[in-house]
Amino acid sequence: MRVLVAGATGVVGRPLVGALRARGHQVSALVREESRAKAPDADAVVVADALDRQGLLSAVAALRPEVVVHQMTALRLLRDDPAAAFARTARLRTEGTANLVEAAREAGARRLVAQSIAFAAAPVGGPVLDEDAPLYVDAPDPGWAATVRAVAELERLVLGAPGRAGAERAGAGPAGPGSAGAGPAGVVLRYGTLYGPGTAYARTGATGQAVLAGRLPLPDGAAGITSFLHVEDAVGAAVAAVESDATGVFHMTDDEPAPADQWLPHYARTLGGPAPRTVPAALAPRLLGWFVAHQLTEARGAASGRARTALGWKPGRPSWRDGLGAE
């Protein structure tokens, strides 16, 4: 198949290009001008910015992909400018996704696979939630609420749910799947917390460095649940989604949702860092920031049984214990 990978220089996008080509697909890599030198080996490298609507439409139209894969974020900017990283990622998840959906539709793509996150659920219900759980769009932290609302909009756009833009297009009349004017069939992959090479959890990543320096303490009662996913399994999930006919939202996580008081001490030991000290839970938001404190104390895990059934996917690393901190 002709596959276009948008976000082809990212931690998932780069190896995904190679994995798809290894399976015989004709793969084009969509990169921004400033990332051209970092583009992976691909059948074609196309330069366009997802926030430039007309430029993106022209670039995708020339390729006429059958499947478009959305792996775009700006999280590479986190270390230097976290505010800019989150702001641009939110734009890519909203404006950029809208442009990519339109470009895929106009080019006649039949399928659109998009990256989302599995740790945006509201902290209600059991410790491990499925894809039907509500997203935390009303989180008390404005930054996290904005991130989750952007995730919700990405998923709405990819799945073709009604909205103002969709209503405006409704007058165009019926069109068959894969034809110009019809939206491509959408699938959303909610990745668990990524670990492995190039991620924050690699030894040289931001989280790895914080743990090695003893800067990531455990709040009292650190019962927040994290569902992890190795980068290689994220790539495998995207390949499965490209080659499947299934649509909808899928959690892509390993088999062992992990309480913070289990995974963080294990991670520190594996890295060879100091054991995390314990701090009062009430101080955690001030010491760690609201989001990190939330993840360690309140976050819910994500059940991925739906992906196993619909996509025929399972993680090659079923437990974070097999590799978290080992790279």
Distance CA 125, CA 145 (A): 19
Strand pairing report for 111-117 and 185-191: parallel
Global pTM exceeds 0.75: yes
Distance set, CA 276 to CA 19, 204, 268, 295, 297 (Å)? 37, 18, 7, 16, 15
The one-digit pLDDT tens for each residue of the chain (327 residues) are: 999 999 999 999 999 999 999 999 999 999 999 889 999 999 999 999 999 999 999 999 999 999 999 999 987 655 667 777 888 899 999 999 999 999 999 999 999 999 999 999 999 999 999 999 999 999 999 999 999 999 999 999 999 965 533 333 333 333 333 444 468 999 999 999 999 999 999 999 999 999 999 999 999 989 999 999 999 999 999 999 999 999 999 999 999 999 999 999 999 999 999 999 999 999 999 999 999 999 999 999 999 999 999 999 999 999 999 999 987
Give the C-alpha separation, 319 to 270, whole Å: 14
Q: Distance of CA 177 to CAs 66, 77, 103, 106, 180, Å?
A: 11, 37, 15, 12, 9
In angstroms, rounded to a whole number, what is the distance separating the alpha carbons of residues 232 and 191?
12
User: What pLDDT was estimated at residue 161?
Assistant: 66
Say how far apart CA 184 and CA 303 lie, in whole Å.
26
pLDDT for residue 287: 95
Partnered with residue 252 across adjacent β-strands are: 191
